[in-house]
């Protein structure tokens, strides 16, 4: 059912027919990259987190990890991941297919600046074997991005480099 809600959401822009359904799993970054023939970093990974009012999604490049210190500086509280059951209940999408499309109202979406390295990225589309290729402008619009943020670090980033970054509150796409 979740892929249908994502397709219905994408209909507003005439992009529902562009959803890619793979024969193999796209549920993890590595699986999605292999199935789509792209580097893992171009997979727009959905991170589902708890908020005081419910849930939020952060989409980041597939090769980065959430930086708890940067998240707390940006949002003022500690990041807490949703469980698989909580993610399904809050977003309507099961883990492996969580995406920013067809979400219930009240689930805020944020895009991490780690995505800005690419002209196009591949977010999931509601199932463990789906994705769509979007430009950053399209992702920003279709996901109803609240704002661009900087809350991730690469897996090899040193603590000294981490402290050089701060939450980006109002960054526009150039």
- Residue 166 has a pLDDT of 46
- Residue 162 has a pLDDT of 42
Q: Which CATH class is domain 2-62+78-147?
A: alpha beta
Task: Place 46 in a pLDDT band, splitting at 50, 70 and 90.
Answer: very high
For the residues 130-141, what does the mean pLDDT come to? 98
Least confident of 54-58, 124-128, 169-173: 169-173
Whether residue 78 contacts residue 52, with contact meaning beta carbons closer than 8 Å, is answered with: no
Q: Could you tell me the residue ranges of all domains in the chain?
A: 2-62+78-147
Cα separation values, 1 from 63, 73, 111, Å: 29, 36, 25
| Alpha helices per DSSP H over the chain | 2-10, 29-36, 68-75, 84-91, 136-142, 159-162
- Residue 1 has a pLDDT of 57
């Amino acid at each position: 059912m979740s892929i249908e809600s994502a397709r219905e959401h994408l209909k507003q822009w005439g992009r529902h027919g562009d959803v890619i359904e793979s024969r193999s799993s796209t549920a993890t970054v590595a699986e999605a990259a292999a199935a789509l023939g792209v580097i893992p970093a171009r997979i727009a990974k959905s991170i589902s987190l708890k908020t005081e009012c419910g849930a939020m999604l952060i989409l980041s490049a597939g090769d980065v990890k959430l930086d708890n210190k940067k998240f707390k500086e940006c949002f003022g509280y500690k990041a807490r991941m949703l469980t698989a059951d909580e993610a399904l209940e809050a977003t309507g999408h099961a883990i492996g297919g969580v995406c920013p499309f067809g979400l219930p109202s009240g689930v805020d979406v944020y895009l991490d600046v780690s995505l800005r390295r690419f002209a196009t990225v591949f977010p999931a589309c509601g199932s463990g074997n789906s994705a769509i290729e979007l430009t950053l402008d399209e992702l920003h619009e279709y996901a109803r991005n609240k704002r661009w943020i900087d809350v991730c670090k690469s897996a090899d980033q040193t603590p000294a480099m981490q402290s050089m970054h701060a939450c980006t509150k109002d960054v526009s796409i150039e």
